[in-house]
Amino acid sequence: MAQSMLLYWGSGSPPCWRVMIALEEKQLQGYKHKHLSFDKNEHKCEEVKALNPRAQLPTFKHGDIVVNESFAACLYLESAFKSQGTRLIPDDPVEQALVYQRVFETNNLQQKMYDVAFYAWYVPEGERHESALKRNKESLIAELKLWEGYLEKMGKGSYLAGKNFTMADVVCFPVIAYFPRLHCPPERCPRLMEYYEMLKDRPSIKASWPLEWLEKPEGQDTLKNL
């Protein structure tokens, strides 16, 4: 079954990483894949554009089915292989609601992290303002407090949506992994760092760990002054 799958991906991209974690959790090892370089704009190639008009990664194909958005690809894999591997969406409506809530809240955490960590990359030099970066930092700190509160309420040793590893963890872990890599002060998010330590050696996460992170474990220090 996995041989009929093809994933175009870029290393270090949280959207790509979460699809790879989902594939591992659903025991779909052996899928075909093509690693493309963002730096070389390889994701803008005609091969990707033929499947994904936005020329973005991940681009995922299963037989004749094409699913390009990372959340959609992860949810598709859970639906198509519900009884295989790790059950990522619980049946209980209350538990399910919390999983979906955390999944889609990940967008907020990811964007606010990007706004600080990659500010110099996104904003041209002549348009950068210290006041704007300060506002971005304040917004990220507030977001981190929310997630810290979620884990505090869940209790020590909890996953993002309860006692079991779920789609919330598949989707959000690749974002959380950026905080220690980019030197975020641990005191800003101690519970998230406990969570990171708990999950970083999970087989699905280790198997899909970004290539350049293996070669260079520490990234830039763009979150150092958060």
The band of 32, judged by pLDDT with boundaries at 50, 70 and 90, is very high
Does domain 2-80 match CATH 3.30.210.10? no
Establish whether domains 2-80 and 93-215 are of one fold. no
Structure tokens at 173: 């872990």
Per-residue pLDDT of 5-27, as tens digits, reads 999 999 999 999 999 999 999 99
Quick one: pLDDT at residue 103?
98
Quick one: pLDDT at residue 127?
86
Question: Domain locations in the chain?
Answer: 2-80, 93-215
| Beta carbons of 144 and 138 less than 8 angstroms apart | no
**CATH code that applies to domain 93-215:** 1.20.1050.10
What is the share, in percent, of the chain residues with pLDDT greater than 70?
100
Per-residue pLDDT of 109-155, as tens digits, reads 999 999 999 988 888 888 889 999 999 999 999 999 999 999 999 99
**Mean pLDDT of the chain, nearest integer:** 96
Among the listed residues 142, 144, 174, 158, the one whose alpha carbon sits nearest the alpha carbon of residue 98:
158
* pTM confidence score: 0.96
Per-residue pLDDT of 149-173, as tens digits, reads 999 999 999 999 999 999 999 999 9
Quick one: pLDDT at residue 121?
81
pLDDT of 38 > 90? The answer is yes
| Beta carbons of 16 and 209 less than 8 angstroms apart | no
Sheet containing 65-67, strands listed edge to edge, beginning at the edge strand earlier in sequence: 32-35, 5-9, 59-62, 65-67
pLDDT of 94 > 90? The answer is yes
- In sequence order, what DSSP letters do the residues of 118-186 get, joined into one string? THHHHS-GGG--HHHHHHHHHHHHHHHHHHHHHHHHH-TT-BTTBSS--HHHHHHHHHHTHHHHTT--G
Tell how far CA 12 is from the center of its chain: 9
- Lowest mean pLDDT across 32-41, 116-125, 181-190, 193-202: 116-125
Amino acid at 155: G
In angstroms, rounded to a whole number, what is the distance separating the alpha carbons of residues 137 and 141?
6
28: helix, strand or coil: coil
Structure tokens at 218: 């520490």
Structure tokens at 99: 């999983």
Strands 59-62 and 32-35: unpaired
Contacts of 205 (CB under 8 A, 6+ apart): 21, 173, 199
Quick one: pLDDT at residue 1?
75
In angstroms, rounded to a whole number, what is the distance separating the alpha carbons of residues 221 and 218?
9
